[in-house]
Amino acid sequence: MKIGGIIAEYNPFHNGHKYHIEEFKEKSSCSHLVAVTSGNFVQRGGPAIVDKYTRAKMALDNGVDLVLEMPAYYATQTAEIFSRGAVMTLEALNCVDSFCFGSEHGEIDKLKEAAAISMGISGDYEVSLRKNIEEGMPFAVAREMAVREYMDEVPSDFFKGSNNILAIEYLRELIRLDSKMEPITVRRMSAGHNSREVSGDISSATAIRKVLNGLELRENVMNTKDKHDFLRKISIIENSVPKTIYFELIDMISKEMYPLDNEDFFSEIRTCVIRNEGTLHNYFEVKEGLENSIRKTVVRAPKFDDVVAELKSKRYTSSKIRRCLFNILLGVKDRDMDIAKNLKQLPYVRVLALNDKGREILKKIKEVSDVDVVSSPAKAKLTDSYTENPVYKMLFDFDLRSSSIYYQKYYSNHREQLENGEVDYFNLITRLEQKNDID
């Protein structure tokens, strides 16, 4: 058994992801594939367009054998913290041979070189960085220049690619953890990670979400005169996602399960901002006056996106503003992130979906790793590892809490789905018990 790992949000799963999986399988000759994904809230700041179980199933239907959810404290933050949570999840399994990520550059060596320099392994990065900052460069520029100083021949757009940046973070994390996993990169197909338009077979998740969130859905759309308009609009993404996923999305929408976006949480965000106005600076990344400008802006901006547009600046990216707003909504505080950021080992990994091969991976994990493999949160909360380890409790409670906030919105037209209790306590167990309980 040769196990490969993939880190991806599948928000939603599209042809680029499928291509990535196929390329990786060929390059690594792995026999089993585990993917680490975000849960219900994602790295760019905001809710996933469809929930984590649906996205996990999409991955399973397209070549992944086991889907794990990384702890939400990592999944919802900067590239550096996201990478940390993702790589720590794979590392915790202690049986992943290689793992794969996309990059614009597409060659591992240059990316590794940049990571090593920025970790101080070769060159004198810290000194150069400090000098650049003293000279007044913004941090991102200072960092790039300091790394460049010790690299030979680096393409001019190397540090422009957001996937290159993320790739370097993964590689830095491998160094930090002294990991033996082999990193493999696959060149991103034409569409940039953040490109806004759908075209051809490969489109970015951003472009696909833009179509899905722009559908202006009304109740009972499939039985009204709006039906044709809806089908015409959604057909724009038909060639960008696997067929099964395309029809699943239409089916969900026809049942009034709508794709979520940031706007769906705007009212709750406003309430949380006002209600906690005196302590906003305690939330992660909400600093340096952002607490005041957020307080002032949310109460009068027409929409969530207007808040972001108004507050973004040279100093603060849109993602940063979005993450700040969701850190307030979800209650992500400095003191918790300080602990999460400095961990070197995760106490648990969470299973979202698996097939028979995934079951073989789980068996292997139990042989070679001490990590808690959580399939049933209800059972996990009864274990000593949970009750006696405050870090486990902190991470896991936040996973469940943030997920629950998501499902309250996701099922707002279908509260009968919540009648039996919170989704995390029921979803996977129910599905697994139909086969054979894995605990």
Applying CB under 8 A, the residues found at the interface with its own copies are 267-268, 270-272, 274-278, 299-302, 329-331, 397, 401, 404-405, 408-409, 412, 415-416, 418-422
Distance of closest approach, residue 264 Cβ to its own copies, in angstroms: 10
Distance of closest approach, residue 357 Cβ to its own copies, in angstroms: 35
Amino acid at 234: I
- Token pair listed for 156: 């001019």
8 is annotated as contributing to ligand binding: yes
17 is annotated as contributing to ligand binding: yes
Pick the closer one to its own copies by CB: 141 or 299. Answer: 299
Burial of 213 (0-12, 13-18, 19+ CB in 10 A): middle
274 is annotated as contributing to ligand binding: no
10 is annotated as contributing to ligand binding: yes
Look up tokens 């957001």; give the residue. Answer: 162
Neighbouring CB atoms inside 10 A of 280's CB total: 19
- Token pair listed for 242: 């696997």
Distance of closest approach, residue 94 Cβ to its own copies, in angstroms: 32
Per the DSSP assignment, residues forming a β-bridge with 47 are 41
Pick the closer one to its own copies by CB: 229 or 397. Answer: 397
Pick the closer one to its own copies by CB: 267 or 345. Answer: 267
Pick the closer one to its own copies by CB: 158 or 283. Answer: 283
Helices 108-118 + 162-177 axis angle, to 10: 60
12 is annotated as contributing to ligand binding: yes
15 is annotated as contributing to ligand binding: yes
Pick the closer one to its own copies by CB: 77 or 89. Answer: 77
Pick the closer one to its own copies by CB: 122 or 267. Answer: 267
Distance of closest approach, residue 283 Cβ to its own copies, in angstroms: 11
| DSSP conformation class of 183 | E
To which H or E segment does residue 100 belong?
A: strand 98-103
Give me Rg for the CA atoms of the chain: 21
18 is annotated as contributing to ligand binding: yes
Pick the closer one to its own copies by CB: 138 or 421. Answer: 421
CB within 8 Å of 269: residues ≥ 6 apart: 298, 304, 325, 326, 328, 329
Alpha carbon dihedral 304, 306, 308, 313, in 10-degree steps, equals -170
CB within 8 Å of 46: residues ≥ 6 apart: 261, 262, 265, 322, 326
16 is annotated as contributing to ligand binding: yes
- Half-sphere exposure of 345 toward its Cβ, with a 13 Å CA cutoff? 10
Distance of closest approach, residue 75 Cβ to its own copies, in angstroms: 17
Distance of closest approach, residue 218 Cβ to its own copies, in angstroms: 11
262 is annotated as contributing to ligand binding: no
Give the span between the Cα atoms of 316 and 312, in whole angstroms: 5
Amino acid at 285: E
Going by the annotation, the residues of the binding site for ATP are 7-20, 102, 163, 188
Going by the annotation, the residues of the binding site are 7-20, 102, 163, 188
